[in-house]
Structure 1
Amino acid sequence: MSGLLIAAMMAAILVLNTSVLRAEESAVPAGTVITSQNWQQYKQYMPDGMVAMFAGTVYWKFPQDIQFEVGPTQHYAPPKPYLDNTEKYSRQVNIINLPNGGHSITGYVAGLPFPNPSEPLKGWKLLVDNWYTYVPYNLCTAGWYFMFEDRLHNISHDTGVIVYRRLSFISDVGSPINDPKAQGVDYAEFLQLITPEQARYTTELTLYYTNPAKAEDQFLFIPSLRRSLRVSSQARCSPLFGSDYTYDDTRTGDFNGGIARFDAAYLGEKDILAFLPEQNDAAFADLNNYYPNLSFPKPALGKWQIRSTWKIDIHRVPSEARGYCYSRRVNYMDKDLYVGVWGDLYDSQGKLWKSTYSPIWNASLPGEGKHMVFGGASTIWDQQAEHLSLTIFENAQDRLMYSQDCSNYHGTDYNNVRKYSSISGLAEILR
């Protein structure tokens, strides 16, 4: 590793540790309870969408009895293989320009692509880091719960199975960097409905490729037709199973759009309140632990932290922007996790449309110990259509599992690549 890269990484660590220390010393003391009466004292630590919900200028607003319990700011590090791969391979990453006016990378192997992002293209480099942030090579659950609520507080819900599989660029103990069965796929997202009965076995599969300039392939298995249909890459704004999430919203860090069709402007640094619960248990499946008619987590689910973030404005490159749903997505990206912990989404006129917090919790990973990764719950509030969607990733019987634990999930092998992470598996659903 070159001396220059070592110095850059040490500088990044020093900046990160200094910002965390500052948050602990001078921001919001642990034990503070933020309410509807005192929230303006802490307004400077809130994303714009959160401010609007406290101020009551949007449809979905915080109730009078809202409470944010603030805990101490913690430091989180990814597993050692991810750090090792960052040190070993990040200097090989190069940026290339694409014909559509966007950018891509070459030379990426594993770990963090840009451990010390700087100008030019700092915002886009942060977006790339977000895209390749650490995730376990598999996360699987048969306890997925999806709840929808409209302005009249009518509620409906779905349940199902999720298998999110990293097949390339892996940084887990005992795993190769590239799965032998990857066949050029980086990441596979498998989502299958179990209820309601009339939609049972409806399945969505998206394949993202190791070449980030290659558009993802998306398929929808429709049980009544007993076959799968290819979904156009232009349908990224479509609602996921009728929810307020689009296909570009559903990934760790609330962004799922890839790096080749998007750019990102760096807007600066900001310390914000973020929900990073230390516990990971079935309390998340208890709807009594969410404020009614808002689906916002109560203190029973965990404390909020003051987190040092980079604020970036994510948007389609001009050649890809026509007809796209969002004019921009303002993402508050945690400096430890390289993940957006809160997102505000704006319509084509630049007006606030949706806000969401990311599903992250401190989970025990096989062979890795505890790490802050995808899990828990997330809510997205559509302030214009006056809808909301809550997604919870486990229940008391069907927990969210990771990596090799997915090989025997109540007798099911969710690490079966052919069945759950490839198009051939869709043909076997009703057999």
Structure 2
Amino acid sequence: MTRTTIKPPRLGLICLAVAALVGSSVVQAAASDAEAAALGKNLTPIGAEAAANQEGSIPAWTGGMTKAPAGWKPGHLDPFKDDKPLYSIDASNVDKYADKLSAGQIALIKAYQGYRMDVYPSRRSCPVPDFVAEQTKKNATAAKLGGDGWQLEKVFGAGIPFPIPKTGAEAMWNFKLRYTGLGRRAQIAALMPEKDGSYVENKQWAYEMYPFNDPAVTGPADVGSVEAKLLYDVLTPPSRAGEGYLVHTYVDKPQDAWIYFPGQRRVRRSPTFAYDNQVAGFDNLYFVDQINMFTGALDRYDYKLVGKKEMFVPYNSYKLIDKSQKFKDMLGPEYVDRDLIRYEPHRVWVVEATVKPDKRHSFAKRVFHFDEDSWALLQVDMYDAKGNLWRVQEGSLWAAPEVGACITYETQMYDLVARRYVVDNWTAEGEVLDLTAAKDGRITAANFTQSEMRRRGER
């Protein structure tokens, strides 16, 4: 199939202050005291615009979902189940809404018959714990990138590093260190649908720990500069059962990774489990650094902070984690059941990443879209070296009052050339979705070592 050249749409509603800042190659590394004073006032504690938009389609932020609704448990309750779609966007009216869509969203609507986006009332459900607000206020004037423009040199823990970002790399770090709780464990599935309606299923136990989300952390030295620790135990398919993957990502260097092979009973270092190397078992449809929307070092791209725009993004995606759902009913041959994805109008930060002249990556350009209320990455458009749109990835977001944050876990990735898609971190059929596992001691730092990985594989 020949790729169609699709360029990103012109941004609407760009913040003029941001545009002025990013127009120069030299920008201030941190916010001024006067800028930081706006946090918690006309800006939310982590830097979003607190007020409603002019049309009223995006309401004012009033603190988010800080208390659990009656009967709340992840996957067992949709707090907004009574909301009805305001309208749907499909091939018949996509041009009308193009200024609030990404190039990838437009391409999906035009490429697949019946693909639509149901737009619901906007619910600014993401809360911010007090200690995150406090640390973010400190970071605003003190956080600092290294001389290479991407390493995180100075930051206080458990807070957004750059709530008033001046560069694209700062926005990327806001995403990478956003607060989602100290750690979690879950039974997840990565699924690859086939044209005949069947699907390949990769089930895993997933354990994730985010050291910077500990309120006691005061800087990178407290956690050995570790950004995240990830551990995956493969359950299916049978040919890969027993495999294990351990990943440590850092704020100042590329990640480390190890793989356990059950047939050899050995843990081996895996320098290739990074960047655009393929994830095993996905027919070359899924790169390692697409895991969790983006994983790993920032060193291969230059990041431009384009600005902010209003956009329709996946939000309050409680239907995707509904334990009553079955994967076979959620997956279509070409795309996810459109009744399951709720889109809302929200303001997003836009960052354009282009490969550095002395580096390489299969994606020559990526365009990232970050939710202003949580810094979650909700939409990524990925381009090849000829400037053609290649892949489109969307995240999900839902508020979890037990950790006081919005969780971004489930992802969907569409390859417009292969005309196939992959979903990852789906939990609907999993028995466990435990967001407070690290806080309550069910996982600890000791779980994320090579020796523990070997012990788990041999038992």
Q: TM-score range by the shorter chain?
A: 0.7 to 0.9
Partner of 1:427: 454
Q: Tell me the SS of whatever aligns to 1:240.
A: coil
Q: Distance in 1 between matches of 2:188 and 2:125?
A: 29
Write the mapping of 1:78-227 to structure 2, written as runs, cut at 5 A.
78-98=128-148, 102-110=149-157, 111-118=159-166, 122-141=167-186, 143-150=187-194, 155-167=199-211, 169-171=212-214, 182-209=223-250, 212-227=251-266
Aligned to 1:372: 406
Q: Which amino acid is 2:92 matched to? A: Q
Alignment check: 8 A CA contact 1:181 1:417 kept = no
C-alpha distance in 2 between matches for 1:344 and 1:200: 33
* Closer, same or farther: CA 48–224 of 1 in aligned 2, 3 Å: same
Give the whole-Å Cα distance in 2 for the aligned partners of 1:287 and 1:40.
32
* Compared CA separation, residues 84 and 307, structure 1 to 2 (3 A): same
Paired position in structure 2 for 1:355: 392
SS at match of 2:312: strand
Q: State the distance in 2 between where 1:285 and 1:183 align.
A: 41
Tell me the TM-score normalized by structure 2: 0.77
Alignment correspondent of 1:292? 332
Aligned partner of 1:282 among 319, 322, 328: 322
Q: Would you say the 8 A contact 2:145–2:151 is kept in 1? A: yes
Higher mean C-alpha displacement, 86-95 vs 46-55? 86-95
Correspondence for 2:427 among 386, 394, 407: 394
Report SS of the residue matched to 1:229.
strand
Q: How is 1:404-423 mapped onto 2 (pairs within 5 angstroms)?
A: 404=437, 407=440, 413=442, 415-419=443-447, 421-423=448-450
Out of 32-41 and 327-336, give the one that drifted further: 32-41
Give 1:416 shift.
3.2
Q: Give the Cα–Cα distance (whole angstroms) in 1 for the partners of residues 222 and 155 of structure 2.
A: 19
Structure 1 residues 6 and 311: CA distance shift in structure 2, 3 A: closer
SS at match of 2:411: strand
- The gaps in structure 2 that reach 5 residues or longer are 1-30, 60-83
Kindly tell me: are residues 3 and 313 of structure 1, through their superposed partners in 2, closer, same or farther at Cα, counting changes over 3 Å? closer
> Is 1:381–2:414 an aligned residue pair?
yes
Q: Which moved more, 1:147-156 or 1:10-19?
A: 10-19
Asked if structure 1 preserves the Cα contact closer than 8 Å seen for 2:348 and 2:371, the reply is yes
Change (3 A) 1:135 1:67: closer
The letter for the 2-side match of 1:382 is: D
CA-to-aligned-CA distance 1:271-317 (integer Å, 9 cap, x gap): 11111125374348423653511342433x35310111121112343
1:407 and 1:395 map into 2 onto residues whose CA distance is 23
Aligned 8 A contact 2:330 2:337 in 1: yes
Structure 1 gap ranges (5+)? none
1:397 deviation in Å?
Answer: 5.4
Aligned counterparts of 1:150 and 1:288: Cα–Cα separation in 2: 12
Please, which moves more after superposition, 230-239 or 29-38? Answer: 29-38
Q: Distance in 2 between matches of 1:204 and 1:240?
A: 11
Number of matched pairs = 397
1:241/1:360 CA distance change after superposition, 3 Å: farther
Deviates more, 1:338-347 or 1:228-237: 228-237
| Pairwise CA distance, 1:140 | 1.0
Corresponding position of 1:7: 37
* Change in 2 beyond 3 A, CA 1:89/1:40: closer
Cα deviation for residue 30 of structure 1 reads 6.3
Deviation at 1:180, TM superposition (A): 11
Identity of aligned residues (%): 16
SS at match of 2:291: coil
- Mapped partners of 2:58, 2:256: distance in 1: 47
CA contact (8 A) 1:213 1:260 kept: no
Distance, in Å, in 2 between the alignment partners of 1:20 and 1:137 is 33
Other-structure match for 2:308? 269
- For residues 379-408 of structure 1, what are the alpha-carbon distances to aligned partners after superposition, in whole Å with 9 as ceiling and x for unaligned? 101112333112243235513111247757
CA offset digits 1:222-264 (Å, max 9, x no partner)? 111111221125842122232333211112xx12133344321
1:104 Cα deviation (Å)? 2.1
- The CA distance in 2 between the partners of 1:42 and 1:263, in whole Å, is 30
Q: Deviations over 1:109-131 (max 9, x none)?
A: 2211111113xxx2222122122
Residue 55 of structure 1 and its aligned partner are, at CA, apart by 1.7
Alpha-carbon distance between aligned partners in 1 of 2:220 and 2:183, rounded to the nearest angstrom: 12
Q: Secondary structure in 2 aligned to 1:219? A: strand
Q: Which amino acid aligns with 1:422?
A: T
> What one-letter code is carried by the residue in structure 2 that aligns with 1:52?
A
Query: Do the aligned partners of 1:33 and 1:67 also contact (CA within 8 Å) in 2?
Result: yes
AA at the equivalent of 1:417: A
Corresponding residue for 2:79?
none
SS of aligned partner of 2:260: strand
What amino acid is the match of 2:312?
L
Q: C-alpha displacement at 1:331, in angstroms?
A: 0.7
Give distance in 2, aligned partners of 1:67 and 1:3.
Answer: 41
Is 1:49 equivalent to 2:94 in the alignment? no
